[in-house]
Structures are given as structure tokens and as C-alpha cells.
């Protein structure tokens, strides 16, 4: 389900703006910076206290944010994770279609945000299954680099000069050869 919320910040009352010294800031003042800065952050409360969202180690930030959601039992069962990932893919496809129809920065940002939701959900699913998302990603990077390196060694010409069919054949051949070698590790 894709819900779009459009706020007219000048006409929508989202709490009292009169008592600015109040410890509980109004919703309006919390959301105001997001109007002009897409990377603005609402100040953290207790739940997310101590998480540095400017940290360059995205997996570390993910771990802390995911742990925070688990503290409030915001973790789904494996079945609901599966439907959640499916929903995120559908939302990404819709955003990509919007961008293809109208290549605006807003549509690109929306498409990028939906892809981020896919990454976050997939990482949460991995963690829920006992898989370290960073280790899984490292494994995938290594696997794909090995496939490309092996393709290059097997090809009689530059990969850029190969047809799509030739590249797909080399990819599948490299994939099978690497799978056979990795399977041998478990049999030895």
C-alpha cells in the first residue's frame, strides 16, 4: 500500500506553536526542516539516542536502528517479512515507473528511497534469520567479482565486445564452475 501524505505546512495545525520553550516541541516545528532539507533529521528521543546517522559505516547504523525496532517489538514473523519485502518491491516498481514517465528530482528521490526500503527490509530479514547482513553482502561482492574475473579469463575477447548472449553464457558457465568448486569444499 503506497500512502502519499501532502502537507500544506502553512495551513495545517499540527500542535501548538505558541509554547516554543516547552520540552515537547510541536509536530510542526519538528517537521519544518524536512520541507527544505531532505536529509534533515527529527531529533532523537530515547529509542534512537546515540545512533549516529552520519556514520559512514551503514551496516553499523543499520544494526543499531534494527536493534532499536526490536526493543519495541517491531519485529515481524518470517511470513510477514516476506510480504513486507514484496510490498517494498511493488512500491519501488511504482516509483521507478513514475520516474520513467516524469524524470524529476522528486521522482528520482522517491525511487531511491523505495530502493533503500528494500535494502533495509532485506537486511532485517537476514538478521531475523540469524544472518549478518554485512557478511552476506561481503560474500555477494566476492562471489560476483570472482564470476566476472572468471568470465574474463574464459572469454577469447574483451567482455565489452561480447554479445549479450555470449556474456550470459560466460556468466552461467562461470557460475557453474564456481559452484562446483565451492561444493567440493563441503565434500572434502
Q: Which of 128, 148, 126 is nearest to 136 (CA)?
A: 126
- Answer yes or no: is pLDDT of 177 > 50: yes
Most confident of 30-34, 84-88, 96-100: 96-100
Instruction: Give the sign of the dihedral formed by CA 114, CA 116, CA 121, CA 125.
Output: positive
What mean pLDDT value characterizes the chain? Answer: 80
| Other beta carbons less than 10 A from residue 123's beta carbon | 22
Here the cell at position 57 is 559505516
Regarding pTM above 0.75, the answer is no
| Percent of the chain clearing pLDDT 70 (strictly above) | 82
* Separation between Cα atoms, residue 47 and residue 64, nearest integer Å: 10
Q: Tell me which of 15-24, 34-43, 67-76, 120-129 is least confident.
A: 15-24
pLDDT for residue 72? 76
Work out the angle between the directed axes of helices 58-71 and 105-128 (0-180°, nearest 10). Answer: 70
Here the cell at position 31 is 517537521
- Answer yes or no: is pLDDT of 157 > 60: yes
pLDDT for residue 21? 38
Here the cell at position 105 is 528530482
Which long-range contacts does 169-172 make (Cβ < 8 Å, 24+ apart)? 171/147
Q: Tell me which of 54-68, 69-83, 144-158 is least confident.
A: 69-83
Q: Work out the average pLDDT over 116-140.
A: 90
Residue in the block written with cell 525496532: 69
Residues with Cβ within 8 Å of 43's Cβ and at least 6 positions away in sequence, in order, are: 25, 30
* Separation between Cα atoms, residue 123 and residue 62, nearest integer Å: 8
pLDDT for residue 79? 66
Q: Which of 187, 181, 114 is nearest to 147 (CA)?
A: 181
* Residue of higher predicted confidence among 121 and 33: 121
Here the cell at position 112 is 531511491
* Residue of higher predicted confidence among 185 and 21: 185
Q: Which of 112, 133, 126 is nearest to 75 (CA)?
A: 126
Amino acid at each position: 500500500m503506497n500512502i502519499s501524505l501532502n502537507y500544506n505546512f502553512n495551513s495545517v495545525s499540527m500542535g501548538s506553536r505558541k509554547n516554543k520553550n516547552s520540552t515537547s516541541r510541536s509536530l510542526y516545528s519538528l517537521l519544518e526542516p524536512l520541507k527544505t532539507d531532505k536529509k534533515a533529521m527529527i531529533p532523537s528521543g530515547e529509542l534512537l539516542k546515540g545512533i549516529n546517522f552520519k556514520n559512514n559505516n551503514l551496516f553499523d547504523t543499520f544494526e543499531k536502528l534494527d536493534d532499536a525496532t526490536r526493543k519495541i517489538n517491531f519485529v515481524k514473523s518470517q511470513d510477514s517479512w516476506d510480504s513486507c519485502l514484496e510490498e517494498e518491491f511493488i512500491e519501488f516498481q511504482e516509483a521507478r515507473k513514475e520516474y520513467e514517465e516524469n524524470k524529476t528530482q522528486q521522482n528520482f528521490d522517491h525511487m531511491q528511497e523505495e530502493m533503500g526500503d528494500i535494502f533495509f527490509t532485506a537486511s532485517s530479514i537476514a538478521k531475523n534469520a540469524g544472518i549478518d547482513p554485512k557478511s552476506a553482502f561481503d560474500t555477494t561482492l566476492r562471489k560476483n567479482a570472482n564470476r566476472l574475473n572468471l568470465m574474463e579469463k574464459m572469454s577469447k575477447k574483451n567482455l565489452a565486445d561480447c554479445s549479450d548472449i555470449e556474456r550470459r553464457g560466460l556468466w552461467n558457465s562461470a557460475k557453474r564452475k564456481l559452484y562446483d568448486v565451492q561444493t567440493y569444499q563441503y565434500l572434502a
